[in-house]
Amino acid sequence: MSNTKFILGVYEDEDILLSAIKTIRTAGVKIHEVYSPFPVHGIDDVLGYKRSKLSIVAFLFGVLGTSLALVMQVGMMGVDWPMIIGGKDFIPYPSFVPVIFELTVLLAAYGMCFTFFIISDLKPWAKPRIFDLRITDDKHVMAIDLDQNKIDVAKIDQILKDNGASEVNQKTFDEA
Amino acid sequence: MSMTTVEEKYDFSAKAKKNLLITIGIGIFLTVLGIVLMNMGGHHEEGAHEGGHAFSWVNRLGVDIWINNIYFTGIAIVGVFFFALQYAAQAGWSAGIKRIPLAFGSWLPIAGILMLVSFFVFGHDLFHWTHHDLYDTTSHEFDSIINAKKAYFFWPLSEHPSTPVFFIARMLFFFGLWYYLFTKLRKLAFQEDLEGGTASWYNMRKLSAVFLIIFAVTSSIAAWDWVMSIDTHWFSTMFGWYVFASWWVTTLALITFITIHLKEKGLLSIVNENHLHDIGKFVFAFSVFWAYIWFSQFLLIYYANIPEETIYFVERWNNDQYGIIFFVNLFLNFVLPFLLLMPRDAKRHTAILKVVTPIVIFGHWIDFYLMITPGTLKENGGYGLVEFGTMLIYGGAFLYVVLNSLSKAPLFAKNDPMLDESLHHHVL
């Protein structure tokens, strides 16, 4: 129901882009997101992104996998249906290690992947906002959400142009 | 964006020398004290006299010296291995720290002499296979399994065992070859300082590739000869890897520790948290690798449950003396580094690295203790002043030689073609 309006600065070169991000942010303009056809080194720092906490999620899922594997094997082999295999104890911990390892890796990997999908809004039914088709080809596009900025449009236009944007466009998304 | 790099040199100060000599002095004192204490209360081990060979403090000293021989030889040659690996892999990040492992190689000639001499002095106590009656069919001591391995120890063509010529020849050959390749690599490295250009780098890469192949074979055989043959009946096809993994992670931890030490002295200005992060990842990853190798060897033996194989772990795990160290070994070398080095910040700042690397360095000494002591001293083994003392003597001497060697040349190669890449190295 609301309309979201963006100003898009199109950049040709990643070095110009990086210095532009710096000046634009110091000028007080909030940048929604920057899209580029390839990873730009150091862009996270310039955009002021904090380090992702995804690794902690991975660790916790790993611990969950370890616990699950232990509980499962002790439950099956030690409680539910104890069997003597190779003259070992009913609960032979060394034999459990490969399964513990595998489940730890499996849950850490899947847990991290799905968490990443969720926090990055990559659910299958998500409608992606396509700002400019050329971001998958040869242009870097800086998107500035007008709702988040109190500075007036003409001024932002000017700042973008002054900092090396090859063109400045606007795009509005109708969102239900 | 080119940075001017000033040549840096490590000054092996008189104070540092004195501290290391004091460490060696304390080591000698503790060793002697330990031996004296052992002899004063030494009559409660009467059971040991029945086995034909009386146990004395000489045996224990010999075993401790042998542990240190293996341990420090390993660090020395694996230091050269790290250096060679950087060239073979065309690694750029490590340009600032490569001279540290290279200096480890300076211990090789001393290690070789020490090992040869201690083999002649203690070899008979250390290695069961040196007993000649094992090969005598008329003797009641005859051992058909060891007899079948006779050619490997003595000489392929010899009928009767005399001096273990083949074994000693291999030892001399390995040390000779390692030392030769080490000096050649070092010569090329220093030549690069003077001449610049890329010719030295290409020559080093070629030589490194040759070294890596030679090292792969010789380090495995060395592990069978010097460590695995102590338990002469027993064998493990993973043993070469296992010994290498232990040496490798120890060396990585020592490189990290010395790098941090030098940085705290205001040296190695070109090394920053990005380089520490990478070498820290190495310590973390190869602690896991060591555990993986350790467990792979253990699980197969545990699961198959064949008595001739399980004896190795019966002697170490189901044993009052060594049982505790068996778990301490796993805790220090796997659990601690795995959990402590897992966070990113732990590898980028020196605080945790400074705690974990000494633990790993010490932990792998224990690993070698566990490989060597149970098979040689059996129930007479122990841990106390003699072990700690010999460790200090060897550690002090090793560091003295290495730091002395490090002070002889610039800390990093100013003409290294990889230096620029290292200066801009950035880890996310």
In this predicted structure, what is the pLDDT of residue B228?
Answer: 94
Q: Do both B87 and B139 map to the same domain? A: no
What pLDDT digit, counting tens, does each position of A154-175 carry? 888 888 888 888 888 888 887 6
- Could you give the 3-state DSSP secondary structure of residue B110? helix
Q: Is the Cβ of A105 closer than 8 Å to some Cβ of chain B? A: no
- Least Cα distance to B298 among B324, B333, B320, B326 occurs for B326
Task: Decide if pLDDT at A1 tops 70.
Answer: no
Instruction: Tell me how many degrees the CA angle B344-B348-B352 measures, rounded to the nearest 5.
Output: 85
Residue A167, in any domain of the structure: no
Task: Decide if pLDDT at B5 tops 70.
Answer: no
Q: Report the C-alpha gap between A44 and A46 in whole angstroms.
A: 6
A176 contacts A126 by C-beta, under 8 angstroms: no
Q: Is the Cβ of B142 closer than 8 Å to some Cβ of chain A? A: no
Residue B182, in any domain of the structure: yes
Question: How many domains are contained in chain B?
Answer: 2
Q: Do both B326 and B183 map to the same domain? A: yes
Task: Decide if pLDDT at B30 tops 70.
Answer: yes
In this predicted structure, what is the pLDDT of residue B42?
Answer: 53
Q: Which of B112, B145, B162 finishes a domain?
A: B162
Q: Which domain holds residue A60?
A: 54-119
What pLDDT digit, counting tens, does each position of A84-105 carry? 888 888 999 999 999 999 999 9
- Could you give the 3-state DSSP secondary structure of residue B157? coil
Q: Which domain holds residue B219?
A: 60-127+164-423
Are the beta carbons of B302 and A94 separated by less than 8 Å?
yes
Q: Which of B144, B162, B180 finishes a domain?
A: B162
Q: Is the Cβ of B303 closer than 8 Å to some Cβ of chain A? A: yes
- Least Cα distance to B381 among B66, B141, B140 occurs for B66
In this predicted structure, what is the pLDDT of residue A42?
Answer: 85
A100 chain-B contacts, CB cut-off 8 A = none
Least confident of A134-148, B36-50, B97-111, B191-205: B36-50
Task: Decide if pLDDT at B282 tops 90.
Answer: yes
Are the beta carbons of A55 and B344 separated by less than 8 Å?
yes
Least confident of B47-56, B95-104, B174-183: B47-56
Q: Which of A116-130, B62-76, B159-173 has the highest mean pLDDT?
A: B62-76
In this predicted structure, what is the pLDDT of residue B73?
Answer: 96
Residue B185, in any domain of the structure: yes
Question: How many domains are contained in chain A?
Answer: 1
In this predicted structure, what is the pLDDT of residue B202?
Answer: 95
Are the beta carbons of A98 and B299 separated by less than 8 Å?
yes
**Residue B64 binned pLDDT confidence (cut-offs 50, 70, 90):** very high
* Other CB atoms within 10 A of residue A97 CB: 15
Residue A111, in any domain of the structure: yes
Q: Do both B141 and B195 map to the same domain? A: no
Q: Report the C-alpha gap between A162 and A164 in whole angstroms.
A: 6
Residues A146-152, mean pLDDT to the nearest whole number: 82
Percent of chain B scoring above 90 in pLDDT: 73
What pLDDT digit, counting tens, does each position of B397-427 carry? 999 999 999 999 999 888 899 999 999 898 8
